[in-house]
Each structure stands twice: as C-alpha cells, then as structure tokens.
Amino acid sequence: MQVALVYNLKKEETEFAESNSQPSSQNISSDVSTQVQVSPNDDTYAEWDTIETITAVRDALALFHSVEMIEADENAFHKLQSLRPDIVFNIAEGRYGVSREAHIPAMLEFLNIPYTGSDALTLATCLDKARTKEILSYHSIPTSKFFVIHSLDELQKISEHHHSFPLMVKPLYEGSSKGIFNTSFVQTQEELFTQIEKILSSYNEPALVEKFLPGKEFTVALLGNGNTTQVLPIVEIKFDSLPDGVNPIYSFEAKWIWDQAKNPLNIFECPAKISPALQISIEKLCLNTYNTLRCKDWSRIDVRLDEHGIPHIIEINPLPGILPNPEENSCYPKAARVAGIQYNEMINRVLNAACKRYGLNQ
C-alpha cells in the first residue's frame, strides 16, 4: 500500500542542524516556515514530534509499505489531494486553534482518504478537556468536578464557586503538559488567582480548574477497535521518583526537564503493581471511556484515584506520544513493549486496525 505519514515536526536548535545532515532525515520537509527554534524550558511546541519519532514511524511503516512524508503545514491539503495515498498514518498535532488536531482528519474526510486514529469530532472534543468531562459526566463516567474561567472579569465571580483546595489549574485545550507546571497545583485563593491569570495571559485561552485527585495515577494505552480493543498493561506514574519537595503531578518539568534520556527519572512502573480488582476497574473504565468518546485504533487515557480510591478520568489522548527510544519515558510504547509489542509492530498494528475498519486489503 502507499501510506502517507502526516506529521508536525518540532525543530530544536541542535537537532535542526544535525537533522539536515543525516541520511535518515531525507524526505522530511525542511520548509522554512516550520524551522521553529525552541529552548528546553519553552513549551510552545511540546506537542509536536521530533525528527527521531517521525523517522522511527516512517521506518516502521516502510517495512511493509511505500511511505510518503507530508508535513501538516499550509501545503498539506494540496499534497494529499494530488498524492491520494491508500491511507494516511496521522500523527499531526496541528498548528492553530482549538480544533487543530482535527484539521488533518477533516481534510482527509473531505478528500475521502482513509486515515489512522480518531476522527475530527473525537480529536477536537478530547483536546477540550472541559467538553470531554461534560460528555463523561453525562455517561456517569467518574471525572473530577471542575469549572472554566474565560476572562479576568470572571475571576471576580470565583468565590461563587464552592471549591475546596487543593485544585489543579490547567489550560483548557493543550497536551504534553503544556501549561501544567509544578505551580499548577494550588492550595490557596492567591495561588489560584495567580495561576488562572497566567493561563489567561500566557496561553490566551480559558483556564480549567479541577478538584485535585490525591490518589495514585495511571495511564492506559488502548489499541484496536470494537470488541477486539486491547487494553495494554497499565502504567503507574511514580511520584516518589520526582525531586524532593515537588508536587505529586506529572508536570511539564517532570516530563521534559527533570527527565532526560541521559539521566532518566524512574517514573513509570509497568505493569502497575495493583490489586486485580483495581486493575479490572481501571480497564473497564478506560474501555468505556474509549468507546464513549468514539476513539479509533489507539489512544492513551490518564486516570487518577480520588480520596476514596475510585478511579477517575483525567483526560484522553487520541494522538498519544510515541517516543521511539526505550531510554526515554514514553507511556504508549512502554506499555506496548511490556505487552511484547515492539515499536515497529506497534505502529503497524495501529495501521492494520485502521485498514480493518475501512475494509482495506494490505
């Protein structure tokens, strides 16, 4: 089959120079408009993929198919229109706006080209964490209580909300822990105001304020569709691996600053050492959530226990992070490896799940 890999490339200062000189990076666009320079503390492009990830996905697909590379930039629509691949492997996180993850799937639907992963509706919904929580609540799926602050004016009304501390303050529609720092865990009204103001001004988007779930945290990778959906081994996030004195959250610092390939945090335990009853209840919760949000082919779902030990959904990632290097902490590939599924097989299983849905012969 001809597979087009559609991606957004994160350019890092050193990587960019190196990537242009490596044969493995050939065919990967070096369009000037995407040559974004980022410093390690800047979360602007945290959601986009590195050249290593994009190359690894391409190489995995190329084991069985011919692969074309398409960067998800302003030329993507015309490239897809003229190429008309048999299927798109979509890992594009998108560029602008609250529907950005939906843009490529929407174009593909318009062009009637099959693609991997969830559709535009699911991607746009899951990026908006409040919308997602509203849907979960309608279906009686546990998720922590929350409110959304859209503007500084609304801050005045905040005392009307009956909230008790601690709370989490997050940007309404981001991923990869963008905007979620150690300070996003707030214990006083003053901290709450400061964090809300920070999100409104730095991210120019509404702030989502949630009741803090104090129990253990897990993340769950799912693969497949319908009654053959596989729940991969549950990953526990071990907060005792974080530096002393920091808050027990999987923050931007924890994902991208304190945890380095050369000096990794021992933050994942997979399979999580939990009772069979808790394992079953988390698996059921995640499958129910996956089907309720109509996720397709793959997703990763974050779960945390409340003060009574009841698992709650934090959020759903229908485009999960997939760093290829086992030395780097990346939950989805980690869970797959523990299930005996290596990276190349993992990528091809996602592709095959999509092909099956579309009735495509490979």
Ligand X SMILES: Nc1ncnc2c1ncn2[C@@H]1O[C@H](COP(=O)(O)OP(=O)(O)OP(=O)(O)O)[C@@H](O)[C@H]1O
Residues that bind ligand X (CB under 6 A): 144, 168, 170, 174-178, 180, 210, 212-213, 217, 249-250, 302, 304, 314-315, 317
Which among ligand X, Mg ion, none contacts residue 174 (Cβ within 5 to 8 A by kind)?
A: ligand X
Which among ligand X, Mg ion, none contacts residue 221 (Cβ within 5 to 8 A by kind)?
A: none
Residues that bind Mg ion (CB under 5 A): 302
Beta strand segments in 141-255, E: 146-149, 167-171, 185-186, 207-211, 217-223, 230-231, 235-237
Beta strands 311-317; 298-305: pairing state: antiparallel
Rounded-to-integer distance, Cα 233 and Cα 221, Å:
8
Q: For ligand X, which is the closer residue by CB, 16 or 212?
A: 212
CA distances 82 to 75, 92, 102, Å, are 11, 19, 21
Q: For Mg ion, which is the closer residue by CB, 115 or 298?
A: 298
Which among ligand X, Mg ion, none contacts residue 304 (Cβ within 5 to 8 A by kind)?
A: ligand X
Residue with the closest Cβ to Mg ion? 302
Q: How far is the CB of 295 from ligand X (least distance, A)?
A: 14
> Taking a C-beta distance cutoff of 8 angstroms, is the pair 221, 286 a contact?
no
Q: How far is the CB of 241 from ligand X (least distance, A)?
A: 13
Q: For ligand X, which is the closer residue by CB, 47 or 119?
A: 47
Q: How far is the CB of 315 from Mg ion (least distance, A)?
A: 5
Q: How far is the CB of 144 from ligand X (least distance, A)?
A: 4
Beta strand segments in 72-155, E: 87-90, 146-149
Compute the C-alpha angle 98/183/132, nearest 5°.
Answer: 30
Q: For ligand X, which is the closer residue by CB, 100 or 304?
A: 304
Q: What phi and psi, each to the nearest 5 degrees, are found at residue 154?
A: -65, -20
The amino acid present at 8, given as its one-letter code, is N
Rounded-to-integer distance, Cα 120 and Cα 101, Å:
7
Q: For Mg ion, which is the closer residue by CB, 210 or 302?
A: 302
Rounded-to-integer distance, Cα 279 and Cα 284, Å:
9
Beta strand segments in 172-310, E: 185-186, 207-211, 217-223, 230-231, 235-237, 268-269, 298-305
Q: How far is the CB of 107 from ligand X (least distance, A)?
A: 23
Q: How far is the CB of 213 from ligand X (least distance, A)?
A: 4
Beta strands 87-90; 2-7: pairing state: parallel
Q: For ligand X, which is the closer residue by CB, 101 or 174?
A: 174
Rounded-to-integer distance, Cα 202 and Cα 169, Å:
13
Which among Mg ion, ligand X, none contacts residue 334 (Cβ within 5 to 8 A by kind)?
A: none
Which among Mg ion, ligand X, none contacts residue 50 (Cβ within 5 to 8 A by kind)?
A: none
Q: For ligand X, which is the closer residue by CB, 61 or 167?
A: 167
Cis peptide before 214 (omega within 30 of 0): no
Q: For Mg ion, which is the closer residue by CB, 101 or 302?
A: 302
Which among ligand X, Mg ion, none contacts residue 173 (Cβ within 5 to 8 A by kind)?
A: none
Which among Mg ion, ligand X, none contacts residue 122 (Cβ within 5 to 8 A by kind)?
A: none
Q: How far is the CB of 320 from Mg ion (least distance, A)?
A: 10
Q: How far is the CB of 302 from Mg ion (least distance, A)?
A: 4
Q: For Mg ion, which is the closer residue by CB, 85 or 321?
A: 321
Q: How far is the CB of 143 from ligand X (least distance, A)?
A: 8
User: Rg of the chain over CA atoms, in angstroms?
Assistant: 20
Which among Mg ion, ligand X, none contacts residue 180 (Cβ within 5 to 8 A by kind)?
A: ligand X
Rounded-to-integer distance, Cα 25 and Cα 100, Å:
25
DSSP secondary structure string for all residues of 147-177: EEE-SHHHHGGGGGS---S-EEEEETT--TT
